[in-house]
Amino acid sequence: MTMHLDPDRDWKDHIAGQALRQIQELDLALEPNSFELWYTFFSGRHKALTEAVNALLAATGRPSARDLTRLYEQFLFPTKAATRIHTIGALVHTQSSALINVIEEASDATHGYETRLSSAAPRLALGRMDGMQSIVDELLSWTIDIQTANSLLVGRLKSAAEQVRQLQDQLDQVRLESMTDPLTEVGNRKYFENSLSQHVNSEESWPLSLLIVDLDNFKQFNDRHGHVVGDDVLRLAASTIKHNCRRDDVVCRYGGDEFAIIVPRTPLREALLLGEAIRAAIAARELHRRSTHESLGRLLISIGAAEFRPGETADDFVERADHWMYAAKQARRDRTRPTGEAVRDPAERRPDILWHESYACGEPTIDAQHRELFDLANVILGPDIEALESAELAEVVELLLSRVAQHFQYEQAVLEAAGYDEYEHHRTEHDHLLLRARNVSEAVVSGHQSLGELREFLVNSVILGHLLKDDRRFFALFDKQGASGAPRGTAPVHRERRRSSL
């Protein structure tokens, strides 16, 4: 018996069957281009193509091979873009020439009318009544002629102008398609580079921040569940990112499993909050296979952020955001690194603060935020941070502080909704910790205190003193064995987890 390892084989076979049946029903030749078009249509992987085919089916019922070839060349054959631009450009040239001819004809007609009026003027000046009627008849005839000519010219001008507008719309559509990633329907790498250049060179966009988002376990989805699921994961990530961004933010697919978000008029601190909102929204979605409703787990992401420094190049700006994305990704990997993996000499590195499941309270988002704070603390404790310049150190510290503030805000909302009897005391502790953290961090960044003092505060006051001591007093509110993690006796107060089918 033959076995196949592709978990989406049955689904693919079903889509292929639909494509073949559609080709037979329309009595079309079984060609690779035709099969690709209908396969893509029935898979639902290309929104613009799906909409265009549906419109064509609604309009004609039985589209011709020529109609379908046009759609294929428009949506599925990117190399046709240059040909389309050349063709449209030639048509624009033709219509422009027609407009010029119309304008020249109008100018000639007007000049002829003026010449005739000039020739009639001396005759009118003589004032002879016997010739007056003849002159009036001639002027009337000339006026009718010029009116008729103008009416025709106006019609031709309107027609030519409308065709030019349509061609301009087609050029705009080609340009948009060349700047859009067809899978995720966000900007592509070219669009990102053009947009970043514009924002970097426009002071109206400053302060300007950049987020680089990497899907940590995307390869796992691809290898385990197939490329069809992988494509759906990318579309889900893109739509979630767009949903959390503002209209002016620029969302692009930066690489295979990376996205970039240009955030104009936004300082680093606010951009980090946006990144946290995106991370939480993506992590909240439990993924399921459409066909079997099998749970595929949750998608994890790493985010790097940077704020533009006037005078630096766009490449340097991207490199800094990319650096912190890889730092965040490495922090997540370090947490699960096999013990046999090569590491630095123990004498050259400080021990990591290791997360243990006993530190979990049972509320999923609070536990995820605590784990992330452990990761960030290990970045501060690591030896690499000692080599950072002051501005780079400030970015790392700002990242930590923004995550702490975001966590405190969420934790307070949960405890208040749960009716925690020590809520006010806990909130006051948060305020004191944030104030102290801000003061210590500013002193370290400015050089008035050593990095060691920040590390000591982080470990003793935040991790050991608060997260592992003060927070334990509210653990009884949550059922660590429950699936929802909601406070006992209350409805869940954390963000509703959405289920996504792939």
Contact 269, 210 (CB under 8 A): no
- 188-201 b/e (C-beta count within 10 Å ≥ 16 → b): beebbbebbeebbe
CB-based contacts of 233-238 (< 8 A; 24+ apart in sequence): 233/287, 233/299, 233/502, 234/183, 234/184, 235/183, 235/184, 235/185, 236/285, 236/287, 236/299, 236/500, 236/502, 237/184, 237/213, 237/282, 237/299, 237/301, 238/184, 238/185, 238/186
Around Cβ 371, how many Cβ atoms within 10 Å? 14
Note if 257 is an active site residue: yes
Q: Which amino acid is at 455?
A: R
Determine the Cα–Cα distance for residues 405 and 433; give it in Å rounded to an integer.
10
Which tokens sit at 433? 């910790």
Q: How far is CA 179 from CA 53, 81, 193, 365, in A?
A: 22, 11, 10, 36
Which tokens sit at 308? 């533009």
Determine the Cα–Cα distance for residues 73 and 43; give it in Å rounded to an integer.
19
Cα Rg of the chain, angstroms: 34
- Choose, from 257, 322, 367, 375, the residue flagged as catalytic: 257
Contact 254, 267 (CB under 8 A): no
Q: Which amino acid is at 341?
A: E
447: left (phi over 0), alpha (psi -120 to 50) or beta: left
Determine the Cα–Cα distance for residues 212 and 484; give it in Å rounded to an integer.
31
Contact 325, 212 (CB under 8 A): yes
Give the DSSP per-residue string, 194-263.
HHHHHHHT-GGG-S-EEEEEEETTHHHHHHHH-HHHHHHHHHHHHHHHHHHS-TTSEEEE-SSSEEEEEE
Q: Which residues are catalytic?
A: 257
